[in-house]
């Protein structure tokens, strides 16, 4: 909310520039991209916390709808500071998602009206050739494509990054789920044919190069996974799985996700995209990525949030109000050990951080096809089916209080041997029954309490991340320190997570190593 410029109808500030004097700046991304992300985020925050900011949310929604063009239905950046009047293809994707989230939560017909016009406009302006659809430029205005936009080179149309327009596919699939409009489904098929078979952005083995989020590569593959689920396309689903495995192979074990393959910085939006794809594939049974998701969330996703604005602004001669803008925002250029690896803090990553947290919390518990209640990750949540109370990372204790009669599949803690886990039902010890990476407890009643206790050993490992070697200290699946320490805004200052018992155990077991604090 602090990012909203009240003097301009709650237009968001895209970035906080860090070079002295530190200041908030408007940009072309304010109008459609950031406003859409914030409209989406307000809904998601309410769904996971119950908290709302009614006045700001209504102003953001009104501001977003004013960006819609009455003739073609697209959402246009306005003439302004660093901006020209044009429909940017990447920005359309954020508007699609925001309108879907808004309508899906509220049932309000107003966003659905704008959503239908936007989806049809995007389908209509696409060029078609030999059974595939694509956007030949990044920017569109009044019936014609114009030069410009991010990652665009006028020398060769094939250097237009196909994922930039492919970001539409997630929103199109959400739109199809709301409306059953077959034209959207056909468009997604045609665009994917271009993306995979013509532009060959992702090869058959799932390999690719380029930026994960800002060139739209992971968001496009999220749309591909959504299409595969709806159409029961096993081959496409397997392709998405190979793609995710390639992506994770380029991430750190603690969830640092490169902005692009081989890049030294991490954008929170990319973390959220990877979490989104991993949750979808895991829910569909195409791989089991729950350990990866939990590790990413406990570590880099949370560490990418700024909690000390004065640590950011010290010595930067900040304008008034910047501390409030920075508090709670998420990093755009994070090194593994330092969040200030770039020139600014961009508002897109705050929306991305919210989405990442939402996908985690919404998938901690789900009812499996066989009716069994599955606890996929060991986070604290309260749902209609069960209340989960997790003492991690401080202690290896998780308590599940059932609200409905059910059998339970409780995720085995990562890296903990089955024989080191103790299980109790209503205070009575039971022998854990393993099933894959979970324990099964059958025929439970509403009100039953299942408790799991396990060790959280402290260990130290070295890891190569973005071409540099780091000494990573773990407690269970949580990173408690990273060396060398960053010099601007260091991450993983979590020494308080290691209690005295853990320290003594680490010293007594040489194979675990000693914690680096």
Task: Please check whether residue 374 is in contact with residue 357, taking contact to mean a CB–CB distance below 8 angstroms.
Answer: no
> What is the distance between the alpha carbons of residues 447 and 454, in angstroms, rounded to a whole number?
23
> What is the distance between the alpha carbons of residues 325 and 218, in angstroms, rounded to a whole number?
28
CATH class entry, domain 4-363: mainly alpha
Tokens of 475: 């407690």
Which pLDDT tens digit goes with each residue over 341-397?
999 999 999 999 999 999 999 999 999 888 899 999 999 999 999 999 999 999 999
Lowest mean pLDDT among 37-46, 143-152, 165-174, 190-199: 143-152
* Per-residue confidence (pLDDT) for residue 161, from 0 to 100: 84
H or E element at residue 112: helix 109-125
Tokens of 157: 């149309």
* Per-residue confidence (pLDDT) for residue 509, from 0 to 100: 36
Asked if residue 498 has a cis previous peptide bond (ω within 30° of 0), the answer is no
| Res. 328: pLDDT tops 50 | yes
pTM beyond 0.75, yes or no: yes
> What is the distance between the alpha carbons of residues 370 and 94, in angstroms, rounded to a whole number?
35
Tokens of 397: 């204790």
Q: How large is the average pLDDT for residues 460-474?
A: 96
- Per the listing, tokens 């997604």 go with 188
> What is the distance between the alpha carbons of residues 387 and 401, in angstroms, rounded to a whole number?
5
CATH class entry, domain 366-453: mainly beta
Which pLDDT tens digit goes with each residue over 403-415?
999 999 999 999 9
Which pLDDT tens digit goes with each residue over 212-261?
999 999 999 999 999 999 999 999 999 999 999 999 999 999 999 999 99
* Per-residue confidence (pLDDT) for residue 500, from 0 to 100: 52
Which pLDDT tens digit goes with each residue over 88-123?
999 999 999 999 999 999 999 999 999 999 999 999
Domain limits, the chain = 4-363, 366-453, 458-512
* Per-residue confidence (pLDDT) for residue 419, from 0 to 100: 94
Q: Beta strands 373-375 and 365-367: pairing type?
A: antiparallel
* Per-residue confidence (pLDDT) for residue 503, from 0 to 100: 56
CB atoms within 10 A of CB 197: 11
């Amino acid at each position: 909310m602090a990012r909203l410029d009240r003097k301009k109808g709650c237009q968001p500030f895209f970035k906080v520039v860090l070079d002295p004097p530190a200041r908030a700046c408007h940009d072309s991304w304010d109008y459609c991209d950031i406003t859409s992300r914030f409209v989406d985020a307000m809904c998601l925050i309410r769904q996971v916390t119950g908290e709302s900011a009614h006045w700001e949310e209504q102003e953001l929604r009104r501001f977003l709808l004013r960006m819609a063009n009455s003739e073609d239905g697209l959402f246009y950046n306005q003439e302004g500071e660093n901006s020209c009047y044009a429909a940017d293809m990447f920005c359309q994707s954020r508007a699609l998602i925001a309108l879907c989230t808004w309508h899906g939560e509220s049932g309000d017909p107003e966003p659905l009206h704008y959503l239908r016009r936007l989806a049809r406009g995007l389908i209509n302006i696409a060029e078609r050739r030999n059974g595939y659809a694509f956007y030949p430029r990044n920017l569109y205005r009044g019936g014609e494509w114009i030069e410009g936009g991010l990652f665009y080179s006028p020398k060769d149309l094939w250097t237009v990054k196909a994922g930039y327009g492919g970001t539409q596919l997630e929103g199109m699939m959400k739109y199809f789920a709301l409306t059953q409009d077959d034209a959207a489904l056909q468009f997604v098929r045609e665009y994917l044919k271009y993306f995979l078979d013509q532009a060959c952005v992702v090869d058959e083995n799932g390999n690719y190069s380029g930026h994960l989020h800002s060139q739209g590569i992971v968001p496009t593959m999220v749309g591909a996974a959504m299409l595969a689920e709806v159409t029961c396309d096993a081959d496409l689903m397997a392709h998405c799985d190979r793609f995710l495995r390639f992506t994770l192979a380029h991430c750190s074990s603690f969830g640092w996700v490169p902005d692009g393959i081989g890049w030294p910085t991490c954008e929170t939006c990319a973390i959220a995209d990877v979490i989104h794809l991993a949750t979808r594939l895991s829910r569909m049974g195409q791989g089991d990525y729950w350990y990866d998701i939990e590790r990413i969330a406990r570590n880099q996703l949370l560490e990418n949030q700024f909690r000390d604005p004065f640590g950011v602004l010290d010595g930067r001669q900040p304008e008034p109000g910047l501390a409030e803008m920075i508090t709670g925002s998420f990093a755009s250029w994070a090194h593994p050990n330092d969040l200030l690896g770039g020139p600014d803090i961009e508002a897109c990553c705050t929306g991305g951080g919210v989405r990442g947290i939402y996908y985690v919390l919404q998938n901690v518990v789900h009812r499996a096809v066989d009716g069994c209640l599955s606890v996929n990750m060991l986070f604290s949540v309260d749902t209609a089916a069960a209340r989960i109370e997790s003492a991690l990372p401080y202690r290896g204790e998780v308590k599940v209080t059932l609200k409905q009669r059910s059998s339970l599949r409780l995720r085995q803690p990562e890296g903990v041997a089955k024989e080191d886990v103790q299980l109790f039902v209503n205070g009575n010890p039971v022998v854990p029954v393993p099933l894959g990476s979970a324990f099964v407890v059958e025929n439970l009643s509403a009100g039953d309490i299942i408790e799991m206790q396990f060790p959280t050993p402290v260990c130290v490992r070295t890891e190569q991340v973005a071409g540099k070697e780091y000494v990573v200290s773990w407690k269970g699946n949580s990173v408690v320190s990273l060396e060398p320490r960053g010099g601007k805004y260091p991450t993983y200052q979590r020494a308080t997570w290691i209690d005295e018992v853990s320290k003594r155990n680490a010293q007594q077991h040489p194979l675990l190593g000693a914690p680096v604090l």
